[in-house]
Amino acid sequence: MRVAGDAFLLQTLGRVFQEVHMPQTTEETEVFIVRIWREHSDDDDIPPRIRLVVEHVATDQRRYFDDLKKVPEFMAYMLKEIGWK
């Protein structure tokens, strides 16, 4: 069973991937790992909740989210913390 959140998630990820420009070299590359999963309730009337964890590989910093919209904020914060402008 698909939930309404799936459509939002796919649309958002599609926009993110369309806006990404992969560099030709790796000298200015940072790596983030994003894991996405659904948590199901024991109550069948409650739709599954989307959960995410984002890890900045170089620093091993992780943040957990239940709102996809907050992921870019964390990524921007981490880039600022390591000195990207």
Q: What are the pLDDT digits (tens) for 49-71?
A: 999 999 999 999 999 999 988 99
Annotate 8-19 with b (16+ C-beta within 10 A) or e (fewer).
Answer: ebeeeeeeeeee
- Cα gap 63→56, rounded to integer Å: 9
Query: What would the pLDDT profile of 27-51 be if each residue is shown by its tens digit?
Result: 778 999 999 999 999 998 999 999 9
- Residue 38: which of 23, 27, 49 has the closest Cα? 49
